[in-house]
Chains A and B, each alone.
Chain A
Amino acid sequence: MRRLFFYIKMAVQNLVNNRRFYLPYSLCCIGTAAMYYIMSDIATNKSLDFERGAEYVKMMMGIGIFVLSIFSVFIICYANSFIIRRRRRELGLYNILGMEKRHIAILMLFETVLLGSGCLIAGLAAGMLFSKLTLLVLAQILRFGVPMGFEISISGICMTTAEFGMIFLICLVANIFNVFRSSPIELLHSVSKGEREPKARILLTLFGFVTLGGGYAIALTVKDALSALLLFFVAVLLVIFGTYALFTAGSIAILKLLRKNKRLYYRIGPFTAISGLIYRMKQNAVGLANICILSTMVLVTISTTVSLYSGMEDIIQTQYPFEIETSLNMRNVDTDEPASPELMEQFYHAAVDTAESCAEVSDIKSFVNLSFTATRLQPGVFSVDTMNYVDTNLGSVMSFGVIPVSDYNRMSGQSVTLAADEVLSYNNTGEHYDTIQLNDMQFSVAENLTEFPLNNREALVSMINSQYIVVADQSVVDAIYTMQCQAYAERASDMLYTIGLELEGDAETKIAAFEDVVSEISELMRENEFFNTLMLSRQTNYDDLYAMYGSFLFLGIFLGMVFTMAAVLIIYYKQVSEGYDDRERFVIMQKVGMDTHTVKKSIGTQVLMVFFLPLLVAGVHVVVAFPMVSRMLQLFALNNTGLFGICTLITFLIFALVYVIVYLLTARTYYKIVGDAGSPIKAIGR
C-alpha cells in the first residue's frame, strides 16, 4: 500500500517537474481527444437523421474519424518519443540510484495511467462542452435546422476511450522497451551525445530536386481536370518525397557550398549562422519537413473546401441553370415517332401552368435543343464519329449544341432570319468561323455570337469545350439529329424540348411547385405513352449540395485545426530542444568575446530562418499546386478561379498569422531556456 502511494507520488512529481514537456503533450492529447469525441458524436448523432443530406455528413465524419485516428497515433507517439528522449537522463539516474528497470517500468505505468486518464477525461469533457457548439456551427454551414437539446454520446465516449487508451498503451510499451534496451550509462549520457557533422548527401539532394521538380512540372503542365485528378496523388507524393529529401540533404548541401566561399563565410553573421544552421538542419530537417507538409495540407484542404463552399451558388447555377427544368424527349423511345406539336403544347402548359398555380414564375424559357459530342478536327470542321474518341486528345472533344433560330430569337429577344444553310455560331473558345462543317453537312456562318442565352451544362460539368449553332428551323435540327443517330447508334443523344422556369418564393414553395410539376407531367406522359428524360429542381439539390460541400468544409476546417495543432506541437518541441542545445553555444560564444546583443541577434536570425522555412516552402507548394487544384475543382463544377485564388490567399494569410503567433509564443519558451545562460556570470559560475 505504501509502495503504491510512493509510486503515485513519484509519478505526479515527475509529471509536474517535466511540465515543460508534458503540458503541450497533454494539451495536444486533450485537443485530439475532444475532436475525436466531437466527430464520433456527430457521426452517431440521431438528431441529424431527419435532415436532407445527413448521410453525406455522416459519411464525411466517418472519413474524418479515420484520418483523425491514424493521425493522432502519429502525433502523440511523436510527442511521446520526444519527451522520453529528453527524460532518458533522469530515468538513468533512477536506475543508478537503485531503482530496477521493472520499477522504472511500474513508475512509467503510473505516469501513463495518471496522465492518460487525466487527458482523456479532460478531452471528453472539452469534447462534450464543444460538441454542441460544433453541432450548431455545422448546422449553420449545412443549413440544417438547429438541433435542440444536449446529449452525451455514449458511443462517442467509448470510441474515444478505446482509441486513446490504445495510443497511450503503444506509447507506454515503446517507452518501456526503450528503457529496457539501454544500459544506465547509455541512459545517463544519451542527451549529451556528440553530434557528428552531417555529410552532404549529393544523391539524396539530386533525388529531391528531381522529385520536387517532377511534382511541380506535373502540377504546372496539367491541362484538363481529369488528368489533374488522376495525376494529383502522383504529384503530391513526388512533392512530399522532394520536400523531405531537400530539407534533409539539400539544405545541408547548400549550406556547405556557402561555407566553401571563405570570404563570405568568415564574417560575423554568416560564420555563426551557416555553421549553426548546418547543425540545426541536421537535427530538425525531418521535423521541419513535417511542419512544411502539414502546413501545405492545411492550406490546400481549407482553401479548397472554403472555395467549394463559397462557390456553391456558382456551382449550383452551372449545374442547375433553372429553378425547375424539365425536358420532353422529342422522339418516342419505343416507336421513334416524333412528338406532335399538340403534345409539346400540352407539355408546356403542364409545366408552366402548374408552376404558376403554386408559385410566382418570374422567367420562362422553352426551346428545342440537341446536344451531342463531336470532335473538332480543325477550326470549323467537326466530326461526328465514334472512332474519333480513340485517338484524339480530350481537348478537341466538344459538346456540340443545336437549337432552331425561332427559339434563339425568343430567348434573346432578337429577330434573326436564316437561310437553310446558314447558322449562327457560338463557342466558349472564342474561335470565329466563316463556315462550319459537320461530317458532310456544310453551313455558312451568318454571324459569330459573343453571347448566348444558354449554358452548356454537359460541357461545363465534364470540362470540355462547347460549340453551339443556331439553325434555320426544326427541319435542320431533325437532319442533324438523324445524322447523329446514325453515327452513334444507341449512344446517340436525344433531341429535347426543354422548359426552364425561374420561381419566386421560399424553399418549401419551390419544392412544392416542383413536386406538382413532376406529378402533372408524369400524368401527361403516361396518357401519351411518352417519356420525358429530365426533371431537375435546383432547390432539392441545394440541400444535398449544401450538405455535401458543407461537410467538406467542416471536415476541411476540422482536420485543418488538427493538422495545425500538430504543427504547433512540433514547432514547440523543436524550440525547446533547440533551446537546450543553443544554451551551451550561447555561453561559449559569450566567453570568447561575443557580446550578448550579437549572440541574441545571431541566434534569433537562425531560429527565424529555421522556423519560417517550412511556411515559406509550404507557400511555394501552394502556389505551384494552385493551377492543378483549380482544375480539379472544375470537376466539382467550380470554375471561379478568382474565387479560389482569393480563398487560398486569405487562408494562407490567416495560417501565416497563426504560425507567427505560435512562433512568438514558443520563442518565449526558447528564450527562457537560453536566457538562463543569458548573463555571462551565470554562465561561467559553477
Chain B
Amino acid sequence: MALLTISHLQKIYVTRLGGAQVEALHNVNFSVEDGEYVAIMGESGSGKTTLLNILAALDRPTSGKVDLNGVELSSLPERQLSAFRRDNLGFVFQDFNLLDTFTLGDNILLPLVLQGVKYREMEERLIPIVEMLGIADLIKKYPYEVSGGQKQRAAVARALITNPQLILADEPTGALDSRATDSLLRLFEKINRSGQTIVMVTHSVRAASMAKRVLFLRDGEIYHQLYRGSLSSEEMFSRISDTLTLVGSAVREDAKPEEGQGL
C-alpha cells in the first residue's frame, strides 16, 4: 500500500479578471511508497509548485484525488486542514520561513506548541533532533545570527519534530551555497535512511540525483521518471541531465506555437 497516491490530478487556474483559463496540472498520476525519497523536477511553469501546494493541502485540485495513508485530502473540511498539515506533514522551504521573533529552538518547537504538547516532552523531542542535525549549540540563537545552511537545518528540524508521515521540501537547496547544499542533501539521505518519506521539488540536478526516484514534470504532466536503483549519485546526475536535455529540446520543438497561441 502506497503512502501517497495521486490520481488524475487536474488543476485549472482562472485569472481573476479576464476569466482566461490556465491548466497548471493535467492528469497527474503517481504514488509514493512509505520510506521513499522522490524528487520532482521540471522547469519554471511546469506545475511543480502547484503540485506541491496540492500535496501540502494548501490548495485544492480542480479534479482528481490525493490520498495520504488512507485519508483523502480534498474530503477534509477547511477547519481541519491546518491541524492535518501540522500533524502529518513537515515542510522545508527554499527561504527557510523561520520566524525572526523566535530563537531557532523556539522555531523548531513551534509545531509542538501548536499541538499543545507539554514542555517537558518538547525538550525530550528537541534534543535528539538538534543533535542529529548538528545545531544543538545554536538553539538559543536567532535566525539573523546564523548562516543560511544553519537556518535550513533548523527548518528541517522543525519539519521533523512532529514525526510527520511525509516531508515536503520545496527547493530546499535553492538559497544555499554548494557546501551547505551538499551537507543538507546528506542530511536528507540520512533522514530518509531512518525511514522518513520525502518528496522534494527541485530545479537542481545535484539535489535530484540524491533521490531514489525522479519524476519529470512538463506542462502539467508527468513526462518521465527515473529510478536510481543501484546507481551512484554521479551516474544518476548524468542520467538526469540527459533527460532534462531531452525534455528541453522537446519543449523547444513543439511548445513554441502553443506559446504563440497563448499570447
Contacts and interface: CB of A to CB of B under 8 A. Distances in A.
B114 A196 contact: no
Interface stretch (A266-274, A380-388, A661-669): A266-274
A592 B114 contact: yes
Interface in B121-139: 122
Contact of B102 (A275, A595, A597, A686): A275
Contact of B82 (A263, A593, A685): A593
Contacts of B102: 275
Contacts of B86: 592-594
Interface in A580-595: 585, 587-595
B58 A686 contact: no
Interface string A259-287: 00011001110010001101100000000
B97 A276 contact: no
A196 B144 contact: yes
Interface string B68-87: 00000000000101110111
A527 interface: no
A591 B57 CA distance: 10
Nearest to B116: A268
B158 interface: yes
A96 interface: no
A593 B85 contact: yes
Interface in A649-686: 680-681, 684-686
A266 B109 contact: yes
B95 to A, nearest CB: 10
B99 A589 contact: yes
B30 interface: no
B147 to A, nearest CB: 13
Interface in A594-644: 594-598
A391 interface: no
A662 B188 CA distance: 51
A334 interface: no
B100 interface: yes
A590 B85 CA distance: 10
Contacts of A266: 109, 113, 119, 122
A587 B111 CA distance: 14
Contacts of B59: 681
B49 interface: yes
A341 interface: no
A195 interface: yes
Most central of A262, A266, A589, A685 by chain B CB within 10 Å: A266
Nearest to B123: A262
Contacts of A345: none
Contacts of A529: none
B176 interface: no
Interface string B173-203: 0000000000000000000000000000000
A276 B142 CA distance: 14
A266 B99 CA distance: 15
B53 A684 contact: yes
A588 B82 contact: no
A194 interface: yes
Contact of B113 (A195, A263, A268, A585): A268
Interface residues of B, number: 32
A265 to B, nearest CB: 8
A197 interface: yes
Nearest to A271: B113
Contacts of A686: 49
A681 B58 contact: yes
Contacts of B53: 681, 684-685
Contacts of A262: 119
Given A593-B85, A684-B58, A685-B49, A585 B101 contact: yes
Interface in B9-49: 49
B85 A588 contact: no
A324 B242 CA distance: 112
B137 to A, nearest CB: 18
Given A194-B100, A275-B102, A591 B49 contact: no
A606 to B, nearest CB: 11
B101 A592 contact: no
B221 interface: no
B111 A593 contact: yes
A595 B144 contact: no
A263 B93 CA distance: 30
A558 to B, nearest CB: 42
B158 A592 contact: yes
B91 interface: yes
B100 A591 contact: no
A268 B114 contact: yes
B144 A592 contact: no
Contacts of B98: 588
B96 to A, nearest CB: 9
A593 B86 CA distance: 5
B79 A276 contact: no
Contacts of B99: 275, 585, 588-589
B49 A267 contact: no
Nearest to A588: B97
A593 B83 contact: yes
Interface in A226-267: 262-263, 266-267
A307 B216 CA distance: 79
A590 B100 CA distance: 15
A590 B144 contact: no
Interface string B58-70: 1100000000000
B118 to A, nearest CB: 8
Given A275-B102, A680-B58, A681-B58, A592 B113 contact: no
21 contacts: A194-B144, A196-B144, A262-B119, A263-B119, A275-B106, A279-B100, A585-B99, A589-B110, A590-B82, A591-B91, A591-B97, A592-B91, A592-B158, A593-B111, A595-B82, A595-B83, A597-B79, A598-B82, A681-B58, A684-B49, A686-B49
Interface of A: 194-197, 262-263, 266-268, 271, 275-276, 278-279, 585, 587-598, 680-681, 684-686
Interface of B: 49, 53, 56, 58-59, 79, 81-83, 85-87, 91, 93, 97-102, 106, 109-111, 113-114, 116, 119, 122, 142, 144, 158
Q: Which 4 A-B pairs have the closest CB atoms?
A: A593-B86, A595-B82, A194-B144, A275-B101
Given A266-B119, A595-B82, A684-B56, 9 more contacts: A279-B101, A588-B97, A589-B99, A592-B114, A592-B158, A593-B86, A594-B82, A680-B58, A681-B53
